[in-house]
Amino acid sequence: MNILMMTNTYFPLVGGLEQSIRSFCDEFRRLGHEALIVAPDYEGKAEDEANVIRVPALKKFYKTDFSVNLPVPGLLPRIMKTFSPDIVHSHHPFFMGDFALRLSRQYHRPLVFTYHIMVEKYVHYLPIHNEGAKKFVIEVAAGYANLADQVIVPSPSVRDILLRRGVVSPVEVVPTGVDLKRFVNGNGADFRGHNRIPAGDLVIGYVGRLAPEKNMDFLIGCLVESLKKEPRARALIVGQGPSQEMVKAAFEKAGLGGRLHLTGFLYDQDLVDAYFAMDVFAFASLSETQGVVLLEALAAGVPVVALDAPGTREVVKDRWNGRLVDSPDRQKFIDALTWISGCPPGTLRALKERAKETVKDYSMSSCARRMLEIYENLRGKGVASLRRNDNSWYMLKDRLKAEWDLLKNLIDASEAALLEKNPSEKTGEE
């Protein structure tokens, strides 16, 4: 089977979405299928990328790390003819997602859409980020989901959210898995040595993009207060992003700069060793649909302290493999970190063993096979009118229908956003 992945973000930008695409594609190829990734051009991308086609793009869009694709006449139709995908899989509800819908309709291929992020948590990247903007992006994403033949969500709680938002397309839960073999062995002692972390110190870790949508202000505040309370504690933060300077400044201001270990992004065995160097993993994001880094930490046997949120509550069980904090209360989060570090040796060993036990149901192999079953089912059902009619008139008609559906989705979302800004119009009140 040939699978076309279309995404607004990909490496060198590092996050759960990008890792999910790469992990699924690697596993698809290992199982004998072909997977091609189409993404915008990014600064710092590898020059020898295999199975990736880059689309010309505006880089550093609106002073962010993101790129926005530019229309290139003829490029995507050429891909459809040369690669001839059986499935078009979209990972965003706009930009490249729009192109994915056009191609799936015009060439009569099923469209799969994975709902990776809680879009309303990202409106701070827009020129306008009020409640109306939040409502607009929520409605755009839900409307786009209803234009897809199949929606994928990484966790049951996100499925429930989409159903409440009016998504009627079929929705299946397929989490991003973890290559469990990678986490059998890690050398935390060597990692500590290379980063000048004393062997007996308590290491509170975080892995991920350093950005506002990850609730970094809250997390860093908790880490700083925890280090103040515990003289032998250190913070190990793996990642980078727009909040990086804020992170450094917060530790420096507290006089804790020497106990902050900020590594930037790590890959492969270096990343595994970083997890093995941690005693507890701290995670405060409320914008996830899954949080792959949680699974990676648990696979390394690291208890997790996290805020209760979609994509988190499915894997972190309070006092079983970590602590799940029921509200974004700074003192509660700090107390949970303290609880982990103060556990008796027997309790801590049990937490670590149960952490590893948690991820056994999340192997990358089983998750990829489930996704392939969904693809095959779509292909077998002939979803999206797979008549494969290359008549130019029918192709133009289908393309125009796709354009109308995309435009109507934007109009409907705009109307919903305007009503959000003017609630009296919804209720009839003045």
pLDDT in tens, 299-355: 999 999 999 999 999 999 999 999 999 999 999 999 999 999 999 999 999 999 999
User: For residue 12, what is the DSSP state?
Assistant: T
Q: Say what the pLDDT of residue 13 is.
A: 86
Structural contact between residues 426 and 135, judged by C-beta atoms closer than 8 angstroms: no
pLDDT tier at 127, thresholds 50, 70, 90: confident
Every domain of the chain and the residues it spans: 2-177+364-425, 181-361
CA dist 336 and 318 (Å) reads 10
Percent pLDDT > 90 in the chain is 79
pLDDT tier at 421, thresholds 50, 70, 90: low
CA–CA–CA angle 110, 118, 384 (5° rounding):
10
- By the 10 Å C-beta count (0-12 exposed, 13-18 middle, 19+ buried), 34 is classed as middle
CA dist 307 and 281 (Å) reads 12
Q: Say what the pLDDT of residue 393 is.
A: 58
Global pTM exceeds 0.95 = no
For residue range 262-300, list pLDDT tens digits in order. Answer: 999 999 999 999 999 999 999 999 999 998 999 999 999
Residue 384 has pLDDT above 70, yes or no: no
- Hey, what long-range contacts does 372-375 have (CB within 8 A, 24 or more apart)? 372/1, 372/28, 372/31, 372/33, 374/112, 374/150, 374/152, 374/172, 374/174, 375/1, 375/3, 375/86, 375/87, 375/110, 375/112
Tokens found for residue 185: 């062995």
CA dist 262 and 63 (Å) reads 23
CA dist 36 and 89 (Å) reads 10
CA dist 131 and 289 (Å) reads 21
- Higher per-residue pLDDT: 395 or 9: 9
- Please name which of 278, 210, 225 lies closest in space to residue 255, comparing C-alpha atoms: 225
For residue range 162-217, list pLDDT tens digits in order. Answer: 999 999 999 999 999 999 999 999 999 999 999 999 999 999 999 999 999 999 99
Q: Say what the pLDDT of residue 69 is.
A: 85
Confirm whether 2-177+364-425 and 181-361 share one CATH topology: yes
pLDDT tier at 427, thresholds 50, 70, 90: very low
Tokens found for residue 80: 């459809």
Q: Which of 57-66, 346-355, 404-413 has the lowest mean pLDDT?
A: 57-66
For residue range 215-250, list pLDDT tens digits in order. Answer: 999 999 999 999 999 999 999 999 999 999 999 999
Q: Say what the pLDDT of residue 63 is.
A: 66
CA atoms within 13 A on the CB side of 93: 28
Following DSSP, what letter does each residue of 375-409 receive, concatenated? Answer: HHHHHHHTTTT------HHHHHHHHHHHHHHHHHH
Q: Say what the pLDDT of residue 373 is.
A: 98
Give the distance, in angstroms, between the CA of residue 269 and the centroid of all CA atoms in the same chain.
Answer: 21
Residue 425 has pLDDT above 70, yes or no: no
Looking at domain 2-177+364-425, its CATH superfamily turns out to be Glycogen Phosphorylase B; (3.40.50.2000)
Q: What value does the mean pLDDT take over residues 248-264? A: 98
- Higher per-residue pLDDT: 403 or 251: 251
**Residues contacting residue 202 through CB under 8 Å, at least 6 positions apart:** 230, 232, 233, 234, 279, 280, 341
Residue 422 has pLDDT above 70, yes or no: no
The residue assigned the tokens 């009020």 is 130
Tokens found for residue 201: 């110190």
Q: Say what the pLDDT of residue 387 is.
A: 45
| Adjacent-strand bridge partners of 204 | 235, 280
Q: Give the CA-trace dihedral at 274, 280, 284, 286, to 10 degrees.
A: 80
CA–CA–CA angle 220, 199, 221 (5° rounding):
10
Q: What value does the mean pLDDT take over residues 32-41? A: 97
Residue 426 has pLDDT above 90, yes or no: no
Q: What class does CATH assign to 181-361?
A: alpha beta
- Please name which of 95, 285, 123, 270 lies closest in space to residue 206, comparing C-alpha atoms: 285
Pairing of strands 57-58, 68-69: antiparallel
Strand ranges in 125-219 using DSSP code E only, listed in sequence order: 150-153, 171-173, 202-207
